[in-house]
Chain A
Amino acid sequence: MQLLWDGVAGAFQLLIKRDPLVLAAACRSIWISGFAVSFACLLGVPVGALLSQTRFIGRTAVTVLFRAGMSVPTVLIGLLCYALFSRRGPLGEFDLLYSTKGIIVGEFLLALPIIITWTHSSLTSLDSRVAETAITLGAGPVRRCWTYICEARLGITLAVLTAFARCFTELGIAMMVGGNVKYRTRTLTTATALETARGEFDRGVAMSLILLFMAAIVTVLIGGLGRNERER
Chain B
Amino acid sequence: MFQQFSTVGRNNLFFVAAVGILFLQITGCSKSGGESNATALRLATTTSTRDSGLLNVLLPVFESQNNCRVDVTAVGTGAALKIGEAGDADILLVHARKAEEAFINAGHGTRHEEFMYNDFVILGPVNDPASIRDTAPVEALKKIAEGNHWFVSRGDDSGTHKREMSLWEAGGGRRTWKNYLESGQGMGPSLVMANEKLGYVLVDMGTYLKFKEKIDLIPLAAPSESLRNPYAVIVVNSEKHSNVNNSLANALVNFLVSRETQQLIAEYHIAGQQLYFPTRLVETK
Nearest-neighbor residue (CB-CB) of A89 within chain B:
B196
Q: Assuming the A-B contacts A125-B1, A125-B2, A179-B193, are A198 and B76 also in contact, with contact meaning beta carbons closer than 8 angstroms in the complex?
A: yes
Of A69-77, A131-139, A189-197, A214-222, which binds chain B?
Answer: A189-197
Partner of A182, one of B157, B184, B193: B184
B 50-88 contacts with A by CB, 8 A: 75-76, 78-83
Q: Which 8 pairs of residues, A with B, have the shortest CB-CB distance?
A: A199-B82, A199-B79, A182-B182, A194-B184, A180-B184, A198-B157, A199-B78, A181-B181
Nearest-neighbor residue (CB-CB) of A97 within chain B:
B196
A98 to B181, CA, bound (A): 10
**Inter-chain contact B2/A121, CB cutoff 8 Å:** yes
Q: Assuming the A-B contacts A180-B183, A182-B184, A190-B184, are A199 and B196 also in contact, with contact meaning beta carbons closer than 8 angstroms in the complex?
A: no
Q: Assuming the A-B contacts A181-B181, A186-B184, are A196 and B79 also in contact, with contact meaning beta carbons closer than 8 angstroms in the complex?
A: yes
B 185-210 contacts with A by CB, 8 A: 185-186, 189, 193, 195-198
Residues of B near A199 (CB, < 8 A) are: 75-76, 78-83, 157
One digit per residue, 1 when the CB lies within 8 angstroms of any chain B CB and 0 when it does not, for chain A 63-104 equals 000000000000000000000001100000000011000000
Nearest-neighbor residue (CB-CB) of A121 within chain B:
B2
Residues of A near B157 (CB, < 8 A) are: 198-199
Query: What are 25 A-B contacts with C-beta separation under 8 Å?
Result: A87-B195, A97-B196, A98-B181, A98-B196, A121-B2, A122-B2, A175-B185, A179-B189, A181-B193, A182-B155, A182-B182, A183-B182, A184-B181, A186-B184, A190-B184, A191-B184, A194-B156, A197-B76, A197-B156, A197-B186, A198-B156, A199-B78, A199-B83, A200-B82, A201-B82
Residues of B near A191 (CB, < 8 A) are: 184
A99 to B22, CA, bound (A): 41
Q: Assuming the A-B contacts A125-B1, A197-B75, are A181 and B80 also in contact, with contact meaning beta carbons closer than 8 angstroms in the complex?
A: no
Nearest-neighbor residue (CB-CB) of A124 within chain B:
B2
**Inter-chain contact B183/A179, CB cutoff 8 Å:** yes
A 129-154 contacts with B by CB, 8 A: none
One digit per residue, 1 when the CB lies within 8 angstroms of any chain A CB and 0 when it does not, for chain B 256-271 equals 0000000000000000
Nearest-neighbor residue (CB-CB) of A155 within chain B:
B2
Question: Nearest Cβ distance between residue B196 and chain A, in whole angstroms?
Answer: 5
Q: Assuming the A-B contacts A180-B183, A194-B185, are A86 and B81 also in contact, with contact meaning beta carbons closer than 8 angstroms in the complex?
A: no
Best-buried of A184, A191, A198 by chain B (most CB within 10 Å) = A198
Q: Assuming the A-B contacts A181-B181, A194-B156, A198-B157, are A87 and B79 also in contact, with contact meaning beta carbons closer than 8 angstroms in the complex?
A: no
Task: Give the A-binding residues of B (Cβ under 8 A).
Answer: 1-2, 75-76, 78-83, 155-157, 181-186, 189, 193, 195-198
A198 to B183, CA, bound (A): 12
One digit per residue, 1 when the CB lies within 8 angstroms of any chain B CB and 0 when it does not, for chain A 8-34 equals 000000000000000000000000000
Residues of B near A200 (CB, < 8 A) are: 82
Residues of A near B83 (CB, < 8 A) are: 199
Partner of B185, one of A121, A179, A183, A184: A179
A191 to B156, CA, bound (A): 11
Residues of B near A179 (CB, < 8 A) are: 181, 183, 185, 189, 193
Kindly list 17 other residue pairs between chains A and B, CB separation below 8 angstroms, not including A98-B193, A180-B185. A98-B196, A125-B1, A125-B2, A179-B183, A182-B155, A182-B181, A186-B184, A190-B184, A191-B184, A194-B184, A197-B75, A197-B76, A197-B79, A197-B156, A197-B186, A198-B78, A198-B157
One digit per residue, 1 when the CB lies within 8 angstroms of any chain B CB and 0 when it does not, for chain A 114-130 equals 00000001100100000
A198 to B186, CA, bound (A): 10
Best-buried of A175, A180, A184, A191 by chain B (most CB within 10 Å) = A180
A194 to B155, CA, bound (A): 9
Partner of B198, one of A87, A97, A122, A125: A87
A181 to B197, CA, bound (A): 13
A122 to B2, CA, bound (A): 9
Nearest-neighbor residue (CB-CB) of A87 within chain B:
B196
A183 to B184, CA, bound (A): 11
Nearest-neighbor residue (CB-CB) of A191 within chain B:
B184
A 147-182 contacts with B by CB, 8 A: 175, 179-182
A199 to B181, CA, bound (A): 21
Question: Nearest Cβ distance between residue B188 and chain A, in whole angstroms?
Answer: 12
Best-buried of A125, A181, A191, A196 by chain B (most CB within 10 Å) = A181
Nearest-neighbor residue (CB-CB) of B77 within chain A:
A199
Question: Nearest Cβ distance between residue A74 and chain B, in whole angstroms?
Answer: 16
Partner of A181, one of B1, B183, B186, B198: B183
